[in-house]
Amino acid sequence: MLFRKLVGVIIILITSIVSLNRIFLPVDNQEDKNLFSTSNVIQDIQVISKEPHSVEHPQERSRVREYLYVRLAECGADPVVFYYDSVESYKKKRITIGNVYGVLEPAGKKASSYVMLIAHLDSRFTNLVKGKEQLSLGAADDGYGLGVILELIRISRLYQKQWSQGIKILFTDSEEYGLDGIKHAYSFDKHIFDKVGLIINFEARGVKGPAVLFETSVNNKKVIELYKHSKKPTAFSLTSAVYSILPNYTDFSVLKEDFPGMNFSVVDNLNYYHTAKDNIENISGRSIQHYGVQTQEIVKEYLVNKKYSSPDYLLSDSNVVYFSIPYLGIIVLSNLLYFSLNIFILVIFLIITLFYVKQSRIRLVNILKITGVNTLYIIVTSIALYFVSRFFSQTNGLEYKLISLAYVDEEYPVLILSLGTSVVFFRWLYAKHMNSSKATLPEYMASGILVLMLLSAITLFLAGDSTLFFVSLLCGVLSYVSLLFKYSKFISLLGLIVTLLYLIPLLYLLYVALAFGSLPIINALVLFFVWTLFPTFSAFTGTYD
């Protein structure tokens, strides 16, 4: 048993490391000129991020605009700059903004539909952080987007003879100030969106980590079908569902009701976002490569396959459920299939529970007792961590907010210590349940699964997506059923690995997206998940301690 425990711990550690570590992200390819190359993107970012180029910097912004114009001209995209006198004048001063637009046609003809690639050319204007004025250099936000698009064009042109469709490029101005550039383009020069059948927007709300497909247009069934061509997919219908309820502000917001599309962004390290730390020193080669590797096949499929020749092809009347697991790829399910699977899980759970009750391996009163004690523990620790989070926001001179509370200096030590303590005591409570109160493994598992089912139903009702809990539920119920069989320990171990592989990067992503103020939420989520993972682990090791 001690041996199995040791093996279990080692496997958990390895799974955690490989899921969190960025080794599943691609690295630069410098040898094969036919492949996306980060080094080319970095060369562009070096020029773009030389100096702040926000709405407060007309000259510097002009230089970036001219550079992009020249680069597009080099690519044969016949660039045009559309200038506007901004109506939403910045700080009551009228400013001129200018979007750069270009088109690439298939060899020898005009296309009947286009993929439009969008990134914004301005950097963030003065941002007050802890009383200090900060100016971003826009290396990531949105140097990543601009550079990646230019590189995508380079590699796409290598097979231009095979294109059936064309590319439109739109580098928008003044995105940071009220999405001014895209709004002007869409109001006054709508013709540039003619025959656009797919939009890909590139953003950067941070500097590192995977480039996530965090948002799609509504009714995304066919868009996701196209996305499945992607290598190294990182996408969750969960984030798209959440984004559809929250107000959000990227260029894509203006277009997502009218065009099929995808919105990509890195989300790690909000502390650098919109500050002077968004500079060339802090960019991540692996993130850049991930934007490229992920989108190049989508662009290629769209350009080459004749079925996209109608701009309406990607329109659909339904959404799909999807999530990606590092190393395993993306799983896409229709709403009906997803719903049926959930019902199936519920039915199996009920049947097995009845069976366990008959066998006297489960007493309902014990399930209630475990559920009561654990829920209380989760509520108490989350309230405590809410105050911890408030305390540290205060010592950092920041106003507490639940979402997007960035720039807390002690963030990671406090996070690790808080969650660590919280989980260790929860584990101690588990051993207590199992040893002194004589609860059984099926009882403990059943309580955890019931809570996950409840959470799943609530999030489905509130956000329209419950995939956050799906993998845990599936593996939890599998492990619950397997307790009937001789080889249960191996099924439990497999379930544990898959669950961790899915959950660890997703919870990390949620944390960095929501930031330090969300500490109580992340704590509650982690505890809800380990609730079924503790007995699953015991099913493998055969011990409760």
CB of residue 280 to Zn ion, shortest distance in Å: 17
The residue with its CB nearest to Zn ion is 141
CB of residue 251 to Zn ion, shortest distance in Å: 8
Cα 106 from Cα 472, distance rounded (Å): 47
Q: Which is nearer to Zn ion, 119 or 496 (CB)?
A: 119
Residue from 333, 329, 338, 334 nearest 234 by CA: 329
Q: Which is nearer to Zn ion, 181 or 476 (CB)?
A: 181
**Residue spans of alpha helices (H) in 305-410:** 335-358, 364-395
228, 330 in Cβ contact below 8 A? yes
Q: Which is nearer to Zn ion, 222 or 256 (CB)?
A: 256
**Residue spans of alpha helices (H) in 124-264:** 143-157, 180-188, 221-227, 237-245, 251-255
CB of residue 474 to Zn ion, shortest distance in Å: 36
Q: Which residues bind Zn ion (CB under 5 A)?
A: 141-142
CB of residue 386 to Zn ion, shortest distance in Å: 30
Torsion of CA 138, 141, 147, 153, to 10 degrees: -140
CB of residue 515 to Zn ion, shortest distance in Å: 17
CB of residue 220 to Zn ion, shortest distance in Å: 22
Q: Which is nearer to Zn ion, 141 or 151 (CB)?
A: 141
CB of residue 120 to Zn ion, shortest distance in Å: 6
CB of residue 104 to Zn ion, shortest distance in Å: 24
- DSSP-assigned states of every residue in 83-110: EEE-SS-BTTB--EEEEEEEEEPPTTS-
- DSSP-assigned states of every residue in 420-461: HHHHHHHHHHHHHHHHTS---HHHHHHHHHHHHHHHHHHHHH
Q: Which is nearer to Zn ion, 206 or 495 (CB)?
A: 206
Q: Which is nearer to Zn ion, 142 or 180 (CB)?
A: 142
Q: Which is nearer to Zn ion, 142 or 173 (CB)?
A: 142
The DSSP call for residue 208 is B
Q: Which is nearer to Zn ion, 206 or 476 (CB)?
A: 206
- For the chain, the residue count is 545
N-to-C CA span, the chain: 11
CB of residue 145 to Zn ion, shortest distance in Å: 7
140, 207 in Cβ contact below 8 A? yes
CB of residue 485 to Zn ion, shortest distance in Å: 52
Beta-bridge partner residues of 90: 93
68, 100 in Cβ contact below 8 A? yes
- DSSP-assigned states of every residue in 24-81: GS-----S-TTS--HHHHHHHHHHHTSS--STT-HHHHHHHHHHHHHHHHHTT---EE
Structure tokens given for 310 = 């109608």
Q: Which is nearer to Zn ion, 61 or 221 (CB)?
A: 61
Q: How far, CA to CA in Å, does 308 sit from each of 49, 197, 362, 490? A: 36, 8, 56, 46
Q: Which is nearer to Zn ion, 8 or 210 (CB)?
A: 210
Cα 450 from Cα 44, distance rounded (Å): 52
Neighbours of 362 (CB within 10 A): 23
